[in-house]
Amino acid sequence: MAGPLDGLRMVEMAGLGPGPFCGMLFADLGAEVVVIDRPGAPPDPGGVTARGKRRLALDLQQSAAREAALALIGKADLLVEGFRPGVMERLGLGPAECHARNARLVYGRITGWGQTGPLAAAAGHDINYIALTGALHAIGRAGEPPPPPLNYVGDYGGGAMLLAVGLLAALHEARRSGQGQVVDAAMTDGAALLSSMFYGLKAAGEWGGERGGNLLDGGAHFYDTYACADGRFVAIGPLETKFFRRLCELCGLDEAFAAAQMERAQWPMMKLRLADMFRTRTRDEWCALLEGSDACFAPVLDFDEAPQHPHNRARSTFVTLDGVVQPAPAPRFSRTPAAHPRAGASDSVESVLDAWSATPGGAARG
């Protein structure tokens, strides 16, 4: 078996960010993913999100290329596109045209603002989408502007991951009804959903409006990062009393310090004391003392260090493909594990159609 999605067919319209990442997730788990790209388009940087996929170069401004795309879509279970609203319709590849060819098709649309709403047609990127939801405002240090948190929250977490959930949910429904549908995955919606716990804490009076003063945003001394003697960093997160007491025991901090964990008025002073303590040893020395204990401790590793950590090596969390170190497929499956990823490759419409005509369709046709 090549993974739990073996036999599933996806057409991915080439794009940036969440669409290719979502397609990679499906390819990692065994789906056949075919990317329709522009002729002469540059390859994916590093080739990571292209892994496991076949790429077709089609000029969709030409009627023959559009017909070829529709022929592929007619045999697919899923389509994923990340253009602005209306672009696929202008190409003649909107939901109406695609469902006329394939009524069972699940048509996934990933955008920042969504398919509707006053901002739907506006340009934007991850940082703009998470700004609109409250998520960006909550991230960062007190008295400082909110920092760009890479593109995890909007593009990948609120975008690609929720698109993947939506696609799988719609596939499940299509098996029952025989009908496909459109999945409208907006990064604003997704980033807002990821913030559910914090909206709940706010409603309960347990989350203040200012950055850096709350339990999980760096306000608490026991949930933060600290600089070490060598300029590297460690992360601690002993939220529970028993875990914080364990940290204090291992570090030689007195009982009075441990007992004051939840006294918010003491947090600034306690943070300074921990900062002074962590600066007395190197990161590796702290690892020797704390790693693997119930102190809820980890070193802060960079992208070169993380693949070499013993835990990540033991779990094969990273793989090397064509000389590029990259995260391995996740999650793990006991009976239908994902295969080792392979590099993406160019292909032809004819060969894909021949293959897809020779074998039955995937899960939506089950």
Q: How many CB atoms lie within 10 A of CB 6?
A: 16
Rounded Cα distance, 104 and 171, in Å = 9
Phi-psi domain of 114 (left: phi exceeds 0; alpha: psi -120 through 50; beta: other): left
**In the predicted model, what is the mean pLDDT of residues 336-364?**
85
Which band of pLDDT confidence, cut at 50, 70 and 90, is reported for residue 325?
very high
162 lies in a domain? yes
What confidence tens digit (pLDDT) does each residue in 87-120 have?
A: 999 999 999 999 999 999 999 999 999 999 999 9
Residue 240's CATH number: 3.30.1540.10
| pLDDT at site 352 | 93
Domain ranges, residue 231: 214-310
Together in a domain, 221 and 188: no
Assess contact for 8 and 31: CB atoms under 8 A: yes
| pLDDT at site 45 | 73
Rounded Cα distance, 36 and 195, in Å = 34
- β-bridge pairing 32-37 and 9-13: parallel
Together in a domain, 228 and 165: no
Instruction: Look up residue 83 and give its DSSP letter.
Output: S
120 lies in a domain? yes
pLDDT at 351 over 90: yes
Together in a domain, 57 and 92: yes
Q: Any catalytic annotation for residue 126?
A: no
**In the predicted model, what is the mean pLDDT of residues 181-185?**
98
> Of 199-213, 229-243, 270-284, which range is least confident?
199-213
pLDDT at 364 over 80: no
Together in a domain, 181 and 303: no
Together in a domain, 126 and 240: no
Return all residues near 283 (Cβ < 8 A) that are at least 6 apart. Answer: 228, 230, 232, 233, 234, 299, 300
Rounded Cα distance, 210 and 217, in Å = 10
Residue 91's CATH number: 3.40.50.10540
Helix (H) or strand (E) holding 11: strand 9-13
**In the predicted model, what is the mean pLDDT of residues 121-126?**
97
208 lies in a domain? no
Together in a domain, 247 and 292: yes
Together in a domain, 33 and 157: yes
3 lies in a domain? no
Together in a domain, 45 and 182: yes
**In the predicted model, what is the mean pLDDT of residues 287-308?**
98
86 lies in a domain? yes
Q: Mean pLDDT across the chain, nearest whole number?
A: 95
Of 349, 348, 345, 347, whose CA–CA distance to 68 is shortest?
A: 349
Together in a domain, 281 and 242: yes
Assess contact for 82 and 12: CB atoms under 8 A: no
111 lies in a domain? yes
Residues of the chain above pLDDT 70, percent: 98
| pLDDT at site 363 | 55
Number of domains in the chain: 2
The active-site residue out of 6, 99, 125, 347 is 125
Together in a domain, 169 and 31: yes
pLDDT at 10 over 60: yes
Rounded Cα distance, 133 and 195, in Å = 8
Rounded Cα distance, 34 and 55, in Å = 6
Rounded Cα distance, 340 and 324, in Å = 14
Together in a domain, 262 and 113: no
> Of 33-47, 77-91, 148-162, 304-318, which range is least confident?
33-47
335 lies in a domain? yes
pLDDT at 139 over 80: yes
Together in a domain, 152 and 274: no
> Of 33-42, 220-229, 310-319, 324-333, which range is least confident?
33-42
Q: Tell me: cis bond preceding 42? Omega within 30 of 0 counts.
A: no
pLDDT at 18 over 80: yes
- Rounded to whole angstroms, the maximal C-alpha distance in the chain is 77
What confidence tens digit (pLDDT) does each residue in 230-248 have?
A: 999 999 999 999 999 999 9
**Which pair of tokens denotes residue 87?**
């672009």
Return all residues near 123 (Cβ < 8 A) that are at least 6 apart. Answer: 84
Q: Any catalytic annotation for residue 125?
A: yes
317 lies in a domain? no
pLDDT at 212 over 90: yes
**In the predicted model, what is the mean pLDDT of residues 292-300?**
98
The active-site residue out of 37, 155, 189, 217 is 155
Length of the chain: 366
